[in-house]
Chain A
């Protein structure tokens, strides 16, 4: 990169100093409104012959306003500038050190938060938007603007109309992509997930997904917002958009086989007796309220388990009173009873020995109906058989 002169001297006479650009004073003495291009002179050396003209000139006012010293010699100006530069360098080093310390503290806190989230209750996945599939489909290279900002974006599910493979990128409308191509593998009609290694962090941006696949992509219901339509279609792609904690590594969300999470929005609708269970879309959690007697039974039917596994239900008690929540695979049975102290997150576990579809029966018991419990989802953790 070609560097331009950074040390300049404005002077009545030539200054024979190597590496210093000399600018003649005389032409500037007659100038009116001054706009100075480039670095300001380190100093102005005004000779006796120019002193009178300089005194009331626009140049004199400009230099005074700009902090350019008018001095008697180059040497004294250079010496003073050197001191200033050294002080500035020391200041910058101190500022950098402070930033490094802040960064380390931030990292430490972040790591603690990550551990806490993993150990205490669960990484939170939120289904930020869900557009259900219909009969329509589109094929080829398809782009789709997402209805969410980039912060925390971790995965999208698209609807495959049949088996096949392809790839998906999280990108910008203009400019570089957020991610490398993510491979897609569809085993048949159903949701196919493309997941980033970590949720996107930084400043919020618009996001578009670009899909190339040899299977057809399912469309959602038509809407009138043209800019939300998939390219080449008159409806948006069927889509589920997932968000997590920006920058946190999170467990896999694969729906089968491996350890995976079923957020509330992915659970089947519960059958409820003696209370209400309402899915809070914005929080991706079921809000549970018992009946007037403080009791509530509910069941999620047909949770698929590939083999022996521990099922962990992630709950949060908002109220000031303790709540008891028991979990069983058979109606009427009480396999595990968990106490949910006030204002805590609690993981409720249930061991399942065999593969198959499991019904998760919950019994919530409280001293009064005035309690509020969130069920954020369940995690299927495969166990050695």
Chain B
């Protein structure tokens, strides 16, 4: 048997139709009609209900007014008293059932054991309209809109799981909340395709009121159902239920999925069928909105370069601006760049290495019906956004225009091409289908939530510049150590400079996300504690940045200040956030500044602030960061090396400088020392101009250009005995640690956290910041004269344990 629960409040007349529609059922199981008078203050209601209560199948319950949720719950409790009751239908007092509904209920309960509840098509009377319920179950649709009307049949087991209507939802959406609760308990809904339920639509219905309070009520839902909206569940469901890409290879292969690397293969017939379905009933179709045509070897190359996902994400972003995006591929360092504006040069399709079309564009073209006008429209009717991509040694394969023509040909030769698809449109109005922006409300920054990632945890590192610098090497070293301990790392390079790093630096990362835009390196924002903040890059670009990060468990911001503006979006999803600070800089007047100060301004957002030294840890704590939030990750050598302490040697002492020729590194001090000791020592100068006024370097010093590989670094360290680092400001430089590992004695200014790496006289020599040059000359002469001392200091400094494994362990313990 089944039960029908009808809460009644202020519908003394209309309830007659509701009850009558239950009592006049044709066939079907026995039913108990439970009327719940929710304290209605109209005498007419009481009279009406007491009249119906005389019927043997009707039970009347009366309670003090407590609202719709409580009234339904009262009815449900009554229904559950009968152990034979298999399910409860929730009928509002102003709605009706069709005469065969109970027959259908029995069939559904028998034939669909996997479904927890059964919801109707939206067949309204009063304000007459019929909406499709979508004809298939999709959690992401339910998360976006309440497509399951309260007029649903709910299996007994759902209530037995403890679920009831939440009385906190007094303004509406209590049914939506209930369905989400059912999903949380492991149940799914079943959209019934045939009519059985009639919803009386009135302009002043409760739902109309709820719609006006939509924002507030949705907020209430989201706050309650964090399991769905706050984490990856909704994006995962959406990506699985509504795949985003159809990828057609030049070899004829067709794949559909949200993740290009794991998309499922479909046959040509399936493809044609899905396109037909999409054209006939777009709101019910699950066919992707984007078609991508390219050579399979090119896809493989992009995947190997770890930028495949990033490119597809940018293609998706590009199609917001134009119906067609074309990608040209060149050989070079990893880069993805979108042109700033669209053009109408459709002939770009002919030469493109990848073509991406919106289905809107393809559909408009297919309306032309014959091959020639279709192709002509695809090219001439397109506005195009070009993307330029480079990675090393790409294999381009065939141009994809042929695959596009083949796909169109397959659609045209199919028998379905002769069928006017409009003849198969659902007679009900289309249901709402969740599109990216609906799901993205729950995602960060208004971009599509991405496909689910595999086993985590996943840590993302965001950085503006990725070259062969110290911060980058720290990042790579930590990622490498984390990888060894089972953590999957991702690199987000969001800036304007070209990526210029050796291949080994990409090894620890699963995927590399690139976004190149001048707005990402603007430090013209408001000033906090004397340091300018980054400017907000605009909502759209911010969405592009944050979108892929929503897949992470932890995001580490390594100086990409622009991100700070909206990191709260990630935090709201339960993603842990870190800032990683290395150094404060000085202005030409000697005032301290740098990203640590900006991080102080956003301290409340971060779960942890990582520091490269104890000195910086102390400083951040002094500025008010709670100690528990600080996680020191003392630097170690920034790359692995086989080079270690070398044998004692005779001959002139070889003194090196390694670094930028800028005011911070004070290369002019090195030059001064070299001029003073010229002739008795060998000097090796390596680096280049970066910032500030060019330094004056005498020709005889013949500076080497900056080093870009581990091998070059090893060779440089092998060629010197002493590294002189006369800097004005430092954190805890990797160069010191790497030189020490290579058996090089380091002379460095005692600034920043340098003293944490050098014990003066034992593992190196510290120079007084006020007297650097004379002290350096004296120390170098002493070391030249006492080669045993030189060897002893080198030996003391070498052989330190691997800091990065320790750092990775501390990171995991603290954050994962």
Q: Which residues of A contact B (CB under 8 A)?
A: 1-4, 6, 33-40, 61-62, 65-67, 84, 88, 129-131, 134, 147-149, 172-176, 203-206, 220-225, 227-228, 281
Contacts and interface: CB of A to CB of B under 8 A. Distances in A.
Interface in B120-158: 123, 125, 128, 130, 135
7 contacts: A36-B63, A134-B415, A149-B130, A176-B100, A205-B194, A223-B276, A224-B272
Contact of B41 (A67, A149, A172, A206): A67
A225 B41 CA distance: 51
Contact of A203 (B39, B56, B198): B198
A204 B56 contact: no
Given A1-B56, A147-B426, A224-B272, A175 B61 contact: no
Contacts of A88: 44, 47
A206 B415 contact: no
Among B195, B273, B416, B425, find the residue whose CB has the most chain A CB atoms closer than 10 A.
B195
A176 B43 contact: no
In this complex, the member of A35, A65, A223, A224 whose beta carbon has the largest number of chain B beta carbons within 10 angstroms is A224
B277 A224 contact: yes
A298 B56 CA distance: 70
Nearest to B108: A174
Interface in B88-138: 98-100, 103-104, 107, 123, 125, 128, 130, 135
Contacts, number: 133
A84 B46 contact: no
Interface in B19-61: 26-27, 37, 39, 41, 43-44, 46-47, 50-51, 53-56, 59-61
Given A84-B43, A148-B427, A225 B277 contact: yes
A1 B55 contact: yes
Contact of B424 (A62, A206, A223): A223
B359 to A, nearest CB: 16
B103 A175 contact: yes
B215 interface: no
Contacts of A172: 100, 194-195
Nearest to A175: B100
A147 B425 contact: yes
A213 to B, nearest CB: 23
Contacts of A34: 63-64
A257 to B, nearest CB: 30
A2 B57 CA distance: 10
A227 B39 CA distance: 46
Contact of B46 (A4, A40, A129, A220): A40
A40 B61 CA distance: 9
A222 B424 CA distance: 12
A203 B124 CA distance: 9
B423 interface: yes
Instruction: Please provide the 3 A-B residue pairs with the shortest distance between their CB atoms, ordered closest to farther.
Output: A175-B100, A224-B273, A173-B194
B427 A221 contact: no
B419 A221 contact: yes
A204 B135 contact: no
A149 B125 CA distance: 14
| Candidate in B41, B103, B125, B427 with the most chain A CB atoms within 10 angstroms | B427
A177 to B, nearest CB: 10
Contact of A65 (B39, B51, B61, B281): B39
B59 A37 contact: yes
A40 B8 CA distance: 15
Contact of A4 (B56, B63, B198): B56
B193 A227 contact: yes
Nearest to B415: A221
Given A65-B65, A227-B135, A206 B193 contact: yes
B63 A6 contact: no
Contacts of B196: 174
Contacts of B418: 221
A149 B428 contact: yes
B274 interface: yes
B74 interface: yes
Contacts of B27: 175
B303 to A, nearest CB: 31
Interface in B239-283: 272-274, 276-277, 280-281
A225 B280 contact: yes
A62 to B, nearest CB: 6
Nearest to A206: B194
A223 B195 contact: no
A6 B54 contact: yes
B211 interface: no
Interface in B740-774: none
Contact of B60 (A38, A131, A147, A173): A38
A67 B43 contact: yes
Nearest to A228: B424
